[in-house]
Amino acid sequence: MKIKKAKNYLFLLGLLVFSHALAKPFKKEFILKGLHLNRIYKSMEGPLETQVGLDFGLKSSPFIWITKMTVEILNSDHKVGSQEFLCHAVFKYPDKNNHQAALGVAQGLKTIQFPPGHGLKIPNVKDDIFIQAQALNNNYPDIDKTVYIRFTFEYYDDETAKKEKLKPLGMKFVGSLCPYKEKNGSAGCEPVFPKYYHTSPSGKKMTDHWLVPPGKHVYSSLQEGEFAIKQDIKVHYVWMHLHPYGQYIELKKLGEVKPLWKGMAQNNAKLAILEKVESYSSVKGFNLYKDNQYELVMLYDNPRKKPVDAMGFLYMYYTPL
């Protein structure tokens, strides 16, 4: 009798696991209008397209829980093309403080998928959510090409998310800043757009988009001001934003050698293309504390005879500790 009860229990447990696996997310895609490329477009210079008011088809659900987003470049025949023509693509939404938060990808990464049991909980207000993408062309001066950007989302309605016991994720980004090199100055990094800069807590001008001279260059940036960690958090997902010739980004506690996380990049051997960048996804996660100081370290290796532009950001999705 005991053996039979044990078998029945295991059978019922198996049914529960099986039925849980059958909880499939909704899936929907959005395609932006075509972006025409007819010359070289460096980072942040290419044609840009925005679509406001995304309808996910969940009229009775107060929230949408995003668990996966894929962004693909499509050719004029709407077949999947090369990701080299993507500068960046973002899905923007208001967070709990009504600030604009973002879920995005850039060249080298096309899919973000959160670890099991986690998702972005977004108010289902059609007019407050939108997608945006910018095209890029670093390599072909005589190009005449139109590309389309396809966003594909996987998501749950609020009722299903509660049954699945999904944990809502917050978003925090950290970035690399370099001292702003003034015109005719001798120190610092030459900004790509001279009129745009950050001001550090100590009042110094800093740039987050600068020109890297030929050769290898390591940049280290203390995370302060808007980049400071202001609450204790557990990070479950990280995606990194680099430009071509970027080799890695690592996040470290100030004064320590071993990084909390290090993401590597794979560059094309001949062209200015980031073919692949690493991301981090973990149910266990790693902790960041508001009382600690952190630095972002990245390496660029410029093989050309002229400067190339650079950026470095980590976008982290977390639960509070």
Nearest one of 317, 55, 21 to 168, comparing CA atoms: 317
- Which residue(s) pair with 246 in the sheet? 300
Lowest mean pLDDT among 12-16, 119-123, 204-208, 292-296: 12-16
Q: Is pLDDT at 237 greater than 70 in this prediction? A: yes
Nearest-angstrom CA–CA distance, 174 and 188: 20
pLDDT of residue 306: 95
Q: For residue 135, how far is the Cα from the chain centroid?
A: 16
Give all domains of the chain, ordered by start, each with its CATH number.
Answer: 24-168 (2.60.120.230), 171-320 (2.60.120)
pLDDT of residue 58: 94
Lowest mean pLDDT among 85-99, 245-259, 272-286, 288-302: 85-99
pLDDT of residue 14: 47
Quick one: average pLDDT of 49-73?
Answer: 95
Quick one: average pLDDT of 243-254?
Answer: 98
In this structure, what is the dihedral angle of CA atoms 309, 202, 239, 152, given to the nearest 10 degrees? -80
* Residue with the two structure tokens 């692949």: 276
pLDDT in tens, 148-202: 999 999 999 999 999 999 999 999 999 999 999 988 877 899 999 988 888 988 8
Q: For residue 147, how far is the Cα from the chain centroid?
A: 21
- Which residue(s) pair with 267 in the sheet? 274
Q: Is pLDDT at 320 greater than 90 in this prediction? A: yes
Q: Is pLDDT at 12 greater than 80 in this prediction? A: no
Q: Please give the single-letter amino acid code of residue 242.
A: L
pLDDT of residue 98: 54
* Phi–psi pair at 70, nearest 5 degrees: -120, 135
What separation in angstroms does the CA of 177 have from each of 133, 174, 185, 227? 24, 10, 17, 10
Judge whether 25 and 11 are in contact, CB under 8 Å: no
Q: What is residue 137's DSSP assignment? A: B
pLDDT of residue 196: 86
Mean pLDDT over each residue of the chain, to the nearest integer? 91
Q: Is pLDDT at 59 greater than 70 in this prediction? A: yes
Lowest mean pLDDT among 65-74, 110-119, 121-130, 156-165: 121-130
Nearest one of 223, 191, 225, 220 to 208, comparing CA atoms: 191
Where residue 7 falls among pLDDT bands split at 50, 70, 90? very low
Burial 97-122 (b: 16+ CB within 10 A, else e): eeeebebbbbbbbbebebbeebbbbb
Quick one: average pLDDT of 210-232?
Answer: 96
